[in-house]
Amino acid sequence: MKNTEKGIGKEAIRESRKLKLKIFMKNKLAVVGLVITILIVFLGVFADVICPEGPYVMDIAKRYIEPCGEYIFGTDKMGRDVFARIVYGIRISLLVGAVTTLVTFIFGMVLGMIAGYFKKVDNIIMRICEALMSIPPVLMAIALMSALEPSITSVIMSLCIVYTPQIARVARGATIAAKENTYIEAATAQGASSLRILLHHIAPNILSPVIVQGTYIFATAIILEASLSFLGAGIPAPAPSLGNILYEAKEGIFTANWLTIYPGIAMVLTVLGINILGDGLRDVLDPKSN
């Protein structure tokens, strides 16, 4: 009896996955987002294949060359190839975004589930989260950067501290909602341990809203990293990130507009792709919101 029920369950899950995939593929915009994101990720991942000479090659003789055959996006004030810098910048931006999302996802899930499940610690965890969320993100991130050595790791750490409370809040809300379900009560009545209930019954049920929130964090983390770098408080030079490429472009803005335009487009496309993808995911995972 139990086995067949499980079998049916799996079948149903497979069916619903197929259906979700269908909904997603039907959403043309989401597919466009997917294509953009795959292209951008491709550029980032294969940066050293696309531009084997790397982003640091300087040639003072070739400063401020306009976009041409050899340098399709031109060169900057130190004669570096802007295209190479953009490709490596995408790599760093994506890395920062992905690691931040992953880390906040894990910490946020754990904190949110604990807060939502155990009433005693709920207040403490949520007060701390609320306090952290009352500092506007940009401000919080630069304040954190002031306390850390400037490096990629510091940037990622700051972003994680900024965004973990957001995930935690969503996870907590979903946990509280999931706890109301009768099957959780049934599991509790059967004497299942809290850990088992959290991992087996609650975690799978709160994944959808957390993943949706996660895609937004991916996108905003990239923007926030860029803003930090743009202020000179993010990824330290000479390593390229989309933000500090634009920061350096500021100096040449009156003479070399390509330094602003192409990295700007790359930045927007990166974030846009992820945002569209996130919207598509939201439509699939959370049909109510549409």
Binding residues (CB under 8 A) for another protein: these are: 29, 127-128, 130-132, 134-140, 142-149, 219, 223, 226-227, 230-233, 246, 249-250, 253-254, 257, 260-261, 264, 267-268, 271-272, 274-276, 279, 289
Task: Provide, rounded to whole angstroms, the least separation between the CB of residue 276 and another protein.
Answer: 6
Task: Provide, rounded to whole angstroms, the least separation between the CB of residue 22 and another protein.
Answer: 13
What are the contacts of 243-250 at 24+ separation with CB within 8 A? 243/93, 243/267, 244/89, 245/76, 245/82, 245/85, 245/86, 245/89, 248/76, 248/77, 249/76
Please identify, using beta-carbon distances, which residue of 81 and 279 lies nearer to another protein. Answer: 279
Task: Provide, rounded to whole angstroms, the least separation between the CB of residue 240 and another protein.
Answer: 16
Separation of alpha carbons 139 and 155, rounded Å: 13
Task: Provide, rounded to whole angstroms, the least separation between the CB of residue 109 and another protein.
Answer: 22
Please identify, using beta-carbon distances, which residue of 71 and 247 lies nearer to another protein. Answer: 247
List the one residue out of 124, 123, 221 whose CA is nearest residue 167.
221
Q: Do 174 and 108 touch, CB atoms closer than 8 A?
A: no
Beta bridge mates, 75? 81
Please identify, using beta-carbon distances, which residue of 36 and 51 lies nearer to another protein. Answer: 36
Please identify, using beta-carbon distances, which residue of 25 and 148 lies nearer to another protein. Answer: 148
Q: Do 104 and 97 touch, CB atoms closer than 8 A?
A: no
Q: Do 74 and 249 touch, CB atoms closer than 8 A?
A: no
Task: Provide, rounded to whole angstroms, the least separation between the CB of residue 140 and another protein.
Answer: 8
List the one residue out of 243, 261, 240 whose CA is nearest residue 252.
261
Separation of alpha carbons 31 and 37, rounded Å: 10
Please identify, using beta-carbon distances, which residue of 72 and 148 lies nearer to another protein. Answer: 148
